[in-house]
């Protein structure tokens, strides 16, 4: 099942890239298509943050992950690089669990 | 568009800038590798994602949905939805790069956020192609090497929760989202999408809340009229 998902994603993502370079612009270059395509990453990434941090199974919980996210926000406000943000959040969450 | 050969100074400045972006971006393949094995994928599956999918946000989305207990195929669907933005990049770059045949087929694989950003602003075709290739290829090489290193290290560490790696996934998504939050409209969409996702968590199978949130993008696109950028 996981391999199927990996391959479906690989083929699909490649075709999406190739389509952009190959399809005549007038087919896809419409204001509505552009607006929605611009907003999809915003909606999906935000939903992924919420689910990753606050969901456990079918429950909404507040645990060490929320403090990790808080650390990520502070690091992003300080303009820290990507790796520092990601591992900074991990270190904070791991530290909280040790307490 | 004029097409004179690049003068050596511009050439080396394009290469320098592109390599800088390539190294900075490629390095965070380490976090993808570590997060992916922590989510339950094997080292092979993790490396296959970086080699074959090669678009960071989609890769993180697939493993993130799986980590949350979602079906691998809903993870794949989320990854594909995120991959649609590369189609738009391609539309913008096609007239600028003007590659055909085999070159276009190969170039498509390294069409991602960063290679687009480092070529779309260039004034000549040659500079655009150079920026695209140096950025895309350097990220591809480093991203894959870093993924392998992260996956092997992550495997050796054992229980990912002890190291807070489950919290790292949310932070990675937030860091990818952050640069898109400058506009007020995007902030509202982000809040609404998070609310839809959390609101549906108790009642639908894992993986589906994130897909439901994509509906927010559709509704917001239909309701707003403001022009692009």
Question: Which residues of chain A have a CB within 8 Å of the CB of B170?
Answer: 48-49, 52-53, 65, 68-69, 72, 89
Residue B86's pLDDT is what? 93
Q: Which of B57, B86, B177 sits opposite A49 (nearest CB)?
A: B177
Residue B204 CA to its chain's centroid (Å)? 27
**Inter-chain residue contact B109 with A12, CB threshold 8 Å:** no
- The answer to whether A44 and B116 have CB atoms below 8 angstroms apart is no
**Inter-chain residue contact B91 with A20, CB threshold 8 Å:** yes
Q: So where are chain A's domains?
A: 30-98
Query: Rounded to whole angstroms, how far apart are CA atoms B88 and B65?
Result: 24
Which of A31-35, A80-84, B198-202, B214-218 comes out lowest in average pLDDT? A31-35
- Give the chain B residue nearest A27 (alpha carbons): B91
Residue B229's pLDDT is what? 46
Which of A70-79, B10-19, B79-88, B157-166 comes out lowest in average pLDDT? B157-166
Residue B120's pLDDT is what? 85
The mean pLDDT value of chain B amounts to 91
What are the pLDDT digits (tens) for B28-70? Answer: 899 999 999 989 999 999 999 999 999 999 999 999 999 888 9
Checking if the pLDDT of B194 tops 90, the result is yes
Mutate to test the interface with A, among B164, B182, B216 (most CBs of A within 10 A): B164
Checking if the pLDDT of A76 tops 60, the result is yes
| 3-class DSSP state of A59 | strand
More confident residue, B28 or B137: B137
Residue B226's pLDDT is what? 61
Residue B89 CA to its chain's centroid (Å)? 12
Checking if the pLDDT of A18 tops 90, the result is yes
Q: Which residue has the tokens 């998070």?
A: B194
Checking if the pLDDT of B227 tops 80, the result is no
Over residues B93-109, the mean pLDDT reads 94
Which residues are A56's β-sheet partners?
A: A59
Best CA proximity match to B89, nearest among A44, A4, A13: A13
Q: What percent of chain A has pLDDT over 70?
A: 100
A61 reaches B (C-beta below 8 A): no
Residue B30's pLDDT is what? 92
Checking if the pLDDT of B122 tops 90, the result is no
In which band, very low, low, confident or very high, does the pLDDT at B4 lie, cut at 50, 70 and 90?
A: low
């Amino acid at each position: 099942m996981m391999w199927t998902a990996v391959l479906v994603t690989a083929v699909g993502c490649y075709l999406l890239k190739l389509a952009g370079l190959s399809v005549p612009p007038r087919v896809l270059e419409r204001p509505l298509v552009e607006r929605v395509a611009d907003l999809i990453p915003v909606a999906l990434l935000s939903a992924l943050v919420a689910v990753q941090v606050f969901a456990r199974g079918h429950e909404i919980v507040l645990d060490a992950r929320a403090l990790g996210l808080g650390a990520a926000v502070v690091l992003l406000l300080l303009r820290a690089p990507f790796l520092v943000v990601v591992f900074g959040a991990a270190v904070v969450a791991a530290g909280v669990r040790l307490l | 568009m004029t097409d004179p050969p690049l003068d050596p100074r511009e050439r080396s400045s394009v290469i320098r800038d592109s390599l800088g972006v390539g190294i900075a971006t490629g390095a965070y393949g380490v976090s993808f590798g570590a997060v992916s094995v922590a989510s339950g994928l094997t080292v092979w599956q993790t490396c296959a994602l970086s080699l074959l999918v090669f678009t960071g946000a989609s890769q993180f989305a697939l493993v993130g949905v799986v980590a949350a207990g979602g079906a691998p195929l809903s993870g794949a669907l989320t990854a594909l939805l995120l991959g649609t933005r590369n189609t738009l990049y391609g539309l913008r770059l096609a007239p600028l790069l003007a590659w055909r045949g085999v070159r276009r087929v190969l170039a498509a694989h390294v069409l991602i956020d960063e290679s687009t950003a480092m070529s779309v602003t260039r004034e000549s075709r040659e500079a655009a192609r150079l920026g695209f290739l140096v950025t895309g290829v350097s990220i591809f090489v480093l991203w894959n090497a870093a993924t392998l290193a992260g996956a092997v290290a992550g495997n050796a560490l054992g229980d990912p929760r002890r190291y807070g790696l489950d919290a790292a996934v949310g932070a990675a998504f937030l860091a990818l989202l952050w640069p898109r939050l400058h506009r007020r409209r995007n902030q509202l969409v982000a809040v609404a999408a998070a609310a839809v996702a959390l609101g549906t968590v108790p009642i639908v199978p894992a993986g589906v809340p994130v897909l439901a949130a994509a509906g927010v993008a559709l509704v917001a696109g239909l309701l707003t009229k403001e022009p692009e950028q």
